[in-house]
Amino acid sequence: MLAKASQEKLWGILRILMGWIFLWPFLDKLYGLGFTTSSDQAWLKGISPTTGFLNFATQGPFSDLFKSLAGNSFVDWLFMIGLLLIGLSLILGIGIRIATYSGSLLLFLMYLAVLPPEHNPVIDEHIIYAVLLFTLNRVDAGRYMGFGNTWQQLPIVKKFPCLR
């Protein structure tokens, strides 16, 4: 069994890594850094960040629903703002409750878009990440290696615990 200090570091590291999982696609889609988004497909060049995935990666029983959302500017903005805020929140350790719930919702929707998963008929990384996000919320991981302790002392966070 890990010592308490080691457990806290582990939760902090896992939280930061999960934050990077959300922040990286935001940066790649915004600037077209050449990983999953080429520079000519950057959001800053006016290209929809959701069109490729929603048009070409969706499959299964919900594919028509997800394909109908492709290129919708509201969906693009919601997706990109979600990636940015979830990623920053997790990295900084603030607003963990909202970040973990909204991150889990985003991951679950992406899971529904690719049903059935490619490599396993039931579970894929979206579900594993969502479970990890719920666990990070449960252990209050924002307090470890982040600004969670300071954040939780703010009067507005004390008044509205959902902001924890």
CA distance 89 to 148: 10
Average pLDDT, integer, range 113-139: 93
Average pLDDT, integer, range 126-133: 97
pLDDT in tens, 66-123: 999 999 999 999 999 999 999 999 999 999 999 999 999 999 999 999 998 888 888 9
Rg (CA), the chain: 17
The owner of tokens 């008929």 is 121
Q: Please, what sign has the CA dihedral across residues 74, 79, 85, 89?
A: positive
Per-residue pLDDT, 118: 83
User: Would you state the structure tokens that stand for residue 85, as one six-digit string?
Assistant: 């805020």
Which pLDDT band holds residue 2 (cuts at 50, 70, 90)?
confident
Per-residue pLDDT, 123: 92
User: Would you state the structure tokens that stand for residue 116, as one six-digit string?
Assistant: 């059935």
pLDDT in tens, 5-27: 899 999 999 999 999 999 999 99
Burial class from Cβ neighbours inside 10 Å (0-12, 13-18, 19+) for residue 8 reads middle
Neighbours of 17 (CB within 10 A): 12
Q: Is the peptide bond before 121 cis (omega within 30 degrees of 0)?
A: no
The owner of tokens 């899971």 is 111
Per-residue pLDDT, 78: 97
pLDDT in tens, 12-65: 999 999 999 999 999 999 999 999 999 999 999 999 999 999 999 999 999 999
Give yes or no for residue 1 having a pLDDT over 80.
no
Give yes or no for residue 126 having a pLDDT over 80.
yes
